[in-house]
Every structure is written in structure tokens, then in C-alpha cells.
Amino acid sequence: MTTRLFIDGAFCAPVKGGSFAAIDPATEQEFAQVAAATGEDVHLAVRAARRSFDAGVWADLPASDRAATLRRIAEGIRAETPALAAIETRDNGKPLPEAIWDIEDAAFVFDYYADLAEADAKAPLRTIDLGDDRFDGRVWREPVGVVAAITPWNFPMLMAVWKVAPALAAGCSVVLKPSELCALSCHELARIIDAAGVPAGVFNLLTGDGPSAGAPLSEHPLVDKVAFTGSVATGRRVMQAASAGIRTVSLELGGKSPFVIFDDADIDRAVEWILFGIFWNKGEVCSATSRVLVQKALYQPLLARLKEATEAITIGPGDQDGIKLGPIVSKSQYDKIMGFLARAQGNGARLITGGGRPHGMDTGYFIAPTIYADVPPEAEIWREEIFGPVVCLAPFETEEEAIHLANDSPFGLAAAVMSHDLDRCDRVAAKLRAGIIWINCSQPTFTQAPWGGYKTSGIGRELGREGFDAYFETKQVTRFARDADWGWYLGGGDAQ
């Protein structure tokens, strides 16, 4: 299988004809060739998006028509859920049930933003009281224009849809550049979008690496907004590139999210949510609650129960029945995580379980689910985003100490707190410096709720109403009454 780019309503080969291998992380074997876009392809795609937006072939359609098309996209995704999920499992390594959940969620996102587009069109124009009856003021909302959407490999289609669906719903034209590590499901998404009747040039797909495709896309002068999800380091480069053209940027970046568990919490529920918070999707989750703070009275009992539950997790290729933990996405990411584990031995942390390859699994990028206890707050594994199945635990005594330790991080994407005392949960939630707070749970994500972080975890919000509003510009229109007097220059200088 060899994929193609999708530019101006047609699948095509890259101008320079290049491609790169898609590797199955469970077998380390190539199974497809992916089209490799370069700057020439970026220019063609952005110009197509610019032409389509300026011509109004999509932006000027009634919102009901755009919504109907988005719903056809959702139907197309649902009709192919098993095949799309199988592609993501092979490309990313995640267990098949998780991939199915992601694809189903992607379809719902299109339906949700179709509903918002229709509701937005029915809302009355906002008026402003200007305090002068000679003028009336109105606020108009207009689509931001051409959107460059640059998306990650951990939820390949879903993270792309988080940007593409609201952008299309708002009336924008889009150029999507998914991660080169997992681009195949986005290739299928382009086919489904085309079949749903989106006009040529409104949606374009570029597959390729960051330097060859991502950088020229984020720098392109005809792009109005860059929406990026990925690492902090790459996010900085994207922001710097976009700043040259003073264009709008939204960034969803890394995290090192804390999970504060008080000693009145139910131990089995706490363990279940710790497992879900760090081992779902192999820990390849930007919001993963990888720093667990446990009140001292519960610390040792919880640690023992967590070790037992972690060692019972089934590991293997994601397409096999009963697998809960698949392989890491790529050799480079596997090596990065193994580097963290090797360095952790000398930083004072105590290895409870895991810490390397599962026994007997010599092929594939597998890492055993790993627990470190008594991790010092200055340790690398406590402070840096590992982006793998590694959780760090440390004890605390007081609520104030827990809040301090939780907030002592350059990241601020998500945080969680668990206690039977809901007043305490609300009190702690109010003090946690993060954009997403979970109470008595970790990681449930809903399309209807805004998603984004504080500090180096990003700028702006996705999902929810906020994720729709992010793809609009705001215009104020002030009108002078036809029969009113002004007379600043011709009427003697009295404009009052």
C-alpha cells in the first residue's frame, strides 16, 4: 500500500515523488509506504485552501448545508469503524478496543460541531449599546480563514478531527498535516471527507515529516491560523514561525499531570483510576496523570494493590484479544522512554515493577507498565513528560503540601483529586493550576467540554463551544443613523 496526498479535491503524488515507511510497532516490520510532502506540496495545498476560502465555496454556504455535509462525514466514519480502527492499531500499536472507541468518538465530534454550526446560525446578531443613540453597534462572527492543522500520533484520527471538524463547521478551509508516525487513518479520513461532498480545496491532506512539511506549513504567509498539538519544543517552533506573519496560534502541548489521592478514598477505585490515568493508550496521552500523590496513611496499602493490578495487565500486539497494553508507537519513542528508565535508577526513586521490556517479548517496541515509588520532586522522571507507561508515586501529609507538590511543575494541562469529601475536592480543584480537573476520576474526555492547559501546556482551547469559537474572527460594525447630525468639519465643529 502506498498513500497519496490530497490537494484541491484530488489524490496526488508528491511533487518530488518521495515516500517513507509505515512500521508496525508490534512486529517492527514495514507494512505501507506513506507519501512524503515537501515545501512545493505545502504551497499547492495552501493555495488551494486560500482559493476555496476566498471564493466562498464553503464559507458562504448556509450553516445547515455545512452541517449536513459534516453529518455525512460522521456517517462515513461510522460505516468504516472496524477498518479504520484496525489501521490505527497496526499503525500506532494501541489495543483494538481502544482504537474502536477513538474512531467512534471521531464520528461524534463531526455530529457535535454540525449541531453547533446550525445553532450558531440561528443565534441573533449581537448588538452593543454604545451610549449614543446616533449610532448602533453590532458584532459579527466570521470564519478565521485558512487553517493549518498539525496533529500528533497518539490519537491519529481523533486529534485531527478535534481541529478539522470545528474548523469546517465554522466555514474555514483546512490543510491537515498529521504526524508522520501515524498518518494512515488520516489518509482514509480524506477519502471520507471527499465522498461526503466537501468542495475541492476546502480540505487538504499533507503527509510528511516536521522539517519538510510541518515547518513550511506553519510558516506559510497564506495561512491565517495554525492549530498544533504536540511537544512543547515543537510548539515553541510553531509559535515562532507563526509570529512572523502575526497569525493566530492555538497550541495543545505536553503535560505531567498530578493525581492527588487523600486517605479517605476507596483504594480499589483509586487503583482503577490510576491505571486508567497512566496505562490507557500505553501512557501516550498528553494529559496522563503520571505523578500520583497519596496521603501517607493510604500510601503503602495503595502501592501494594497498585503493584498487583499493574502486573496483571495483559501486554501484546493490539490486534490480539484481551490485550490492555500494546507496543510503544516507534523505535525512537521506545528508545526515549528506555533512556528515562535507565537514568531513573540513580535519582532516588524506588522501582516497584516494570522498568524495561516484558519478559519473553524480544520483538516489537514493548515496555512493561512501570511504577516508581518515593520519587523525589526534583527527579527527572517526576518533572519531565515521559509519554509512556510509567507512573511515579510520592507521599504527602497535608492538603497544602499536596497542592504545592501538584502545582510545582512547568506544565498545567490536567490534574485529578480523589476524596470522599467533595468540599475538599472542590477546594483543591480551585487551587490546582491546570486547565482540566477531574474529581474522583482521571482521563474521561467529553467533546462537549473545553480542553487545554495552563503554563507550558498550551494556548487556547479545543472541544466544546470554545473549540468552535477558536475558528472565528470577531468584527465590530458601527452604523450612523441616516437622519442624525454630526457636523465635525462642515457643521461648525460641534460633534456632540
- The 10s digit of each residue's pLDDT in 65-109 is 999 999 999 999 999 999 999 999 999 999 999 999 999 999 999
Q: Give catalytic residues, as residue numbers.
A: 252
Q: Same domain, yes or no, for 141 and 25?
A: yes
Q: Same domain, yes or no, for 288 and 213?
A: no
Quick check: is 145 in a domain? yes
Cβ neighbors of 433 (< 8 A, separation 6 or more) are 407, 412, 454, 455
Quick check: is 473 in a domain? yes
Query: What CATH number does residue 349 fall under?
Result: 3.40.309.10
Q: Same domain, yes or no, for 425 and 466?
A: no
The domain of 77 spans 5-254+457-478
Q: Same domain, yes or no, for 237 and 264?
A: no
Quick check: is 444 in a domain? no
Q: Same domain, yes or no, for 69 and 139?
A: yes
Q: Same domain, yes or no, for 125 and 223?
A: yes
Burial of 337 (0-12, 13-18, 19+ CB in 10 A): buried
- The whole-number pLDDT of residue 119 equals 94
Return d(Cα 448, Cα 119) in angstroms, integer: 14
Mean pLDDT of 415-432: 98
- The whole-number pLDDT of residue 60 equals 97
Quick check: is 362 in a domain? yes
Report, in this order, helix, strand and coil percent for the chain, each rounded to 5. Answer: 40, 20, 40
Q: Same domain, yes or no, for 73 and 222?
A: yes
Mean pLDDT of 122-151: 93
Quick check: is 446 in a domain? no
Cβ neighbors of 23 (< 8 A, separation 6 or more) are 29, 30, 31, 330, 331
Quick check: is 484 in a domain? no
* Counted domains in the chain: 2
pLDDT, averaged across the chain: 96
Q: Same domain, yes or no, for 217 and 279?
A: no
Quick check: is 447 in a domain? no
Return d(Cα 186, Cα 203) in angstroms, integer: 12
Quick check: is 193 in a domain? yes
Q: Same domain, yes or no, for 413 and 396?
A: yes
| Residues 430 and 445: beta-carbon distance below 8 Å | no
First to last CA, the chain: 73
Q: Same domain, yes or no, for 202 and 315?
A: no
User: Is pLDDT at 395 greater than 70 in this prediction?
Assistant: yes
Sequence-ordered strand ranges (E) for 160-304: 173-177, 203-205, 225-229, 248-252, 258-261, 291-295
Residue 442 has phi, psi (to 5 degrees) of -155, 130
Residue 479 has phi, psi (to 5 degrees) of -120, 135
Query: What CATH number does residue 19 fall under?
Result: 3.40.605.10
- The whole-number pLDDT of residue 492 equals 60
Q: Same domain, yes or no, for 303 and 408?
A: yes
- The 10s digit of each residue's pLDDT in 266-289 is 999 999 999 999 999 999 999 999
Q: Same domain, yes or no, for 470 and 407?
A: no
